[in-house]
Structure 1
């Protein structure tokens, strides 16, 4: 019993080490991997090579599948390019299995010692996450050594032989066992490494090992299918096409497993080497052949999983992929894209206000009020999505980005509420009584609205790019907007003193509008503060006016 527990603990350590390596690489290189994948859509061969490279880094075809299906779900990746990346991922994980079966036991203590020291001293930095990855690699190598040690006493136990002997009777049972283990462990790489080790120790026959390896490939395809069940049709099509390639390869190779098991020892005497070499050659040949079949498989996938029409014009989140939550960099990028959609809705609402101050259009007013419901729905989804990202997994930079995203989300939702209040006020005080603003008042409101839209766009740009010059310009525009709001309020009061009839009729509405626009402008300009604070241009929460005046003056001269 103790021997079996030792084996199971070694397997658990292998799975855990694979998980640490995968998450460590994704935290260090998540955003860069995202950019690499996004640039691989021009050529299928390039996409295939990209899949190999990314998977070799993260040591998990499942992690590559999560990123790729997320891109497909957002419409950023064509189906054919996504299928090529998934095929490359299968070859990449086979290459890593080949590397990890070399005798690297001496490297395990070095990696663990370096990794622990680096991670504990610099947890929130990229170097610290690199140390975490080194720990995972060391644990994988240690786990393989422990598994080899654990299976040696098992060879003497008849009960253990009987237990594993259940896998030798039926080819399909062996394939299903491999698929099940890959799904349970969330790692086809761990399945292959364990199988190769057990075959080397003589616990299972070479035929069983080959069938388990084939099943592990199927298991990784099932993981991708399960992971896209809650996603849109584009992601499900990609997972289905990838699984179809794996299933076709399994159906073609399984009948020949007995012959391969009989012939391979003549070429490769070591069972462990034979299993890993079979895994690499099988995936290389299968994926190379499947590259030629991408177009027909894509067409069939499109027929089987068609796009679903929008239901009742529902305004739902597009980019909040739940499968990316385990990869903070990708999840934060998804949330940022969704926040930009909220900004687009706010901008449309402001454009509607520009129409409503000129025309008494009740229908447009009702439509604008309804748009605030869209903002509220997106706000709730983004906020929930962000709270599901583990803060413990975020390094210092990602932690700041998380805070920036949630702050902008809240500010845009608040801006939507202000716009709704403005529109309701226009309905009650202007449209219902068929009033008009004076020509001068209308010009002032148009000017403030144009500046408000411009500052919203600039604020979103600062949020995306963290450009210091743009941030300085944004806060300078905030000051200018405040001055204009005060000047226009005084000008309006002057028209009241001059007994301008239209100004008298719309006075309360006019003053409320410019006050609300000033409030919204402050919300839009708030994205500048974190950028300037990061370079020391702010003192606490107060702007160092001299620094920004100099910065803005330099921009004006440029």
Structure 2
């Protein structure tokens, strides 16, 4: 019974440590996530700035996994070279050691003060950033409390016979320790929490130094598994170069150090036995960076040979940027969803080009190919909706909720605009081809001009989704009025041609008027997709454009 209670206390304390780590990570991601992502992206010019950026971003986020996912996404999208990307991964390993070094000091007395400060900041109704930093302080306090509680729980069992037998078995198989720690780190997504747990157990003599060092090596491997399994999952082989290269480098380093672990243990423990595990964690990552940094060029060449660019065409309906692992980091998840939504705009533009050419040339094959693109729109839109609605709403700030809704509105309107092209514009083109009809020269020019105007507005809408610029939003909203006037002018010109009894106009009259109406509906969806959300957020969108009624006579 006593052992069961102790086991529950131990599990609860470890859970508290993990939760504290999660609060620190989520608080930093909410407060500085977009800025840190921008910093990381701008620093990927060469291996040295990339190493420094990886260290700094990971130290702030306290999650080498989050940094690894960012770098993996950049590399998979072709935004960063393989060499700087590998340098970021090395820097992420160094950055993860900083909080371990800090918390390995005897600072548990600060825990109540940190929780109190965090609580006061969290309860403030002012700046959202202060609110998020309050989460960070609370998380740090909980981590310290958990580590202190862990010491209290384990102290009575340090000299228990059964425990000593178990420790003897563990300490004799360092490779097993490494594998267990790697699996645990992969499961909890936090090498910081695992290493801190090992530090606490080692300081109290629960785990011998050699086994503790093996556990640390395993934690460094486990944190490199997540970007490979989750960040690059479902991508082309070339997209897996960066996370696989990081994992292979860490496996080689861990096995090399494991082979000489016996002689290393007395050397490191002699310096400061109480901080030996934290120091070993830092030294391993520093040594790995120093060894690998000069070799990144040939190493990247080898990875390209192992994982060459795929010659197979990519399924256009398969999402490219919706990383499941990124959902724990709203700033990254929303950025990926926005990039995926831009693909909807690209597909819709291709459909508009196809519809324009089909209306002008009457190519049956072109009509069929353009029609199939609507299936791509439908599947991408469904994937984006499923991804965004699966994000934990408790992890989203008010700004995140607004951004999520903007992406959903954009995706929905892109899909609905595609439906109009597929169900209305293309059937008219097919009907014209089947009946051997032709629009008048003036009528064809009007339709082509309106489609070109739609394509220009679509590009503006796509740009507006990423920038959120109010001036661009007003310009796009004004295009709704301009397009309505162009549609009215085209309709009036069509009626003038009918009055002139032009045969080519009379034969296609109903079709021409339907197309003008359908094009105007497509433009309405483009404006609603990007302009209205921005104007509504800035308070510049009126609830109605109807003129106010005059007062009724008494």
TM-score scaled by structure 2? 0.92
Q: What is the Cα deviation at residue 4 of structure 1? A: 4.0
Aligned to 2:211: 208
Work out the CA distance in 1 between the residues paired with 2:380 and 2:249: 37
Decide which of 93, 107, 122 is 1:90's aligned counterpart.
Answer: 93
Task: For residue 427 of structure 1, report the CA deviation from its aligned partner.
Answer: 3.3
Contact 1:462 1:470 in 2 (8 A): yes
In structure 2, distance between residues paired with 1:491 and 1:297: 66
Aligned to 1:537: 540
Choose the corresponding residue for 1:523, options 504, 519, 525.
Answer: 525
Tell me which residue corresponds to 2:429: 427
1:239 counterpart (230, 238, 243): 243
Q: Say whether residues 1:257 and 2:261 are aligned partners.
A: yes
- Provide, for residues 64-91 of structure 1, a one-character-per-residue CA deviation record: whole Å limited to 9, x for no partner: 1122222222222222111110111111
- Distance of 2:270 and 2:400 partners within structure 1: 53
Q: 1:232 to 1:326 in 2, by over 3 A?
A: farther
Give TM-score scaled by structure 1 length.
Answer: 0.92
1:21 aligns with 2:19: no
Shift of 1:262: 2.3
Greater CA deviation, 415-424 or 52-61?
Answer: 415-424
- Alpha-carbon distance in 2 for matches of 1:79, 1:31: 22
1:116 aligns with 2:119: yes
Supply the distance in 2 between the matched residues of 1:284 and 1:495 (Cα, whole angstroms): 79
Q: Which residue of 1 aligns with 2:61?
A: 58
Contact 1:537 1:543 in 2 (8 A): no
Q: Which runs of 5+ in 1 are unaligned?
A: 547-558
The CA deviation at 1:122 is: 4.6
Q: Deviations for 1:85-132, whole angstroms, at most 9, x for unmatched residues?
A: 011111111222111112222322122123234335559933322222
Q: For residue 444 of structure 2, what is the aligned residue in structure 1? A: 442
Looking at structure 2, the residues matched to 370 and 473 of structure 1 have their Cα atoms a distance apart, in angstroms, of 32
Taking the aligned partners of 2:136 and 2:390, their CA distance within structure 1 comes to: 23
User: For residues 314 and 13 of structure 2, what CA distance do their matches in structure 1 show?
Assistant: 53
One of 28, 44, 49 as aligned partner of 2:47: 44
**Structure 2 Cα separation of the partners of residues 257 and 452 of structure 1:** 67
The CA deviation string for residues 343-384 of structure 1, in whole angstroms up to 9 with x for no partner, is 112112222232233222222222211222221222222222
Describe how 1:306-385 pairs up with structure 2 within 5 A. Answer: 306-310=308-312, 314-385=316-387
Q: Distance in 2 between matches of 1:167 and 1:418?
A: 66
CA distances 1:324-359 after superposition (whole Å, capped 9, x unpaired): 121111111111111111111211222223223322
- Select the residue among 436, 458, 461 that pairs with 1:459: 461
Asked whether the 8 Å contact 2:355–2:426 carries over to 1, the reply is: no
Q: Deviations over 1:405-457 (max 9, x none)?
A: 11111111111111112343333432122222122222322332222222222
Which moved further from structure 2: 30-39 or 159-168?
159-168
Q: Secondary structure at the match of 2:438?
A: coil
Shift of 1:154: 1.9
Report the aligned-residue RMSD.
2.2
> Residues 365 and 427 of structure 1 are in contact (CA less than 8 Å); yes or no, is this contact kept in structure 2?
yes
3-state SS in 2 of match to 1:319: coil
2-side partners of 1:474 and 1:107: how far apart? 54
Give unmatched runs, 5+ long, in structure 2.
549-554
Aligned to 1:549: none
The separation in 1 between residues aligned to 2:370 and 2:310, in whole angstroms, is 27
Q: Select which of 195, 213, 218 maps to 1:192.
A: 195
2:487 aligned residue (473, 482, 485) = 485
Shift of 1:142: 1.2
CA separation of 1:312 and 1:108: change in aligned 2, threshold 3 A: closer
CA contact (8 A) 1:429 1:506 kept: no
Aligned residues: 543
Corresponding residue for residue 504 of structure 1: 506
**Cα–Cα, structure 1 residues 487 and 400, in superposed 2: closer, same or farther, change >3 Å?**
same
Question: What is the aligned partner in structure 2 of residue 11 from structure 1?
Answer: 14
Kindly indicate whether the alpha-carbon contact (under 8 Å) linking 2:26 and 2:395 is maintained by their aligned counterparts in 1. Answer: no
Q: Structure 1 residues 313, 184: closer, same or farther in 2, change over 3 A?
A: closer
- CA distance in 2 between partners of 1:249 and 1:318 (Å): 32
Whether 1:266 and 2:265 are equivalent positions in the alignment is no
Cα distance in 1 for residues equivalent to 2:225 and 2:429: 55
- Matched residue of 1:358: which SS? helix
1:70 aligns with 2:73: yes
The match for 1:148 among 147, 151, 161 is 151
Mean CA deviation greater in 68-77 or 196-205: 68-77
> Any idea what SS the aligned residue of 1:436 has?
coil
* Counterpart contact for 1:196–1:276, Cα < 8 Å: yes
Residues 165, 294 of structure 1: CA spacing in aligned structure 2 closer, same or farther, 3 A cutoff?
Answer: same
Q: Deviations over 1:12-52 (max 9, x none)?
A: 21122112212222222222222122112211011111111
Give the SS at the match of 1:357. Answer: helix
Show CA shifts across 1:497-520 (max 9, x none). Answer: 221111101101110011001111
How far apart in 2 are the matches of 1:350 and 1:226?
A: 37
| 2:551 equivalent in structure 1 | none
Task: Determine the C-alpha separation between the residues in 2 that align with 1:332 and 1:510.
Answer: 41
> Kindly tell me: are residues 264 and 316 of structure 1, through their superposed partners in 2, closer, same or farther at Cα, counting changes over 3 Å?
closer
C-alpha separation in 1, matches of 2:259 and 2:252: 12
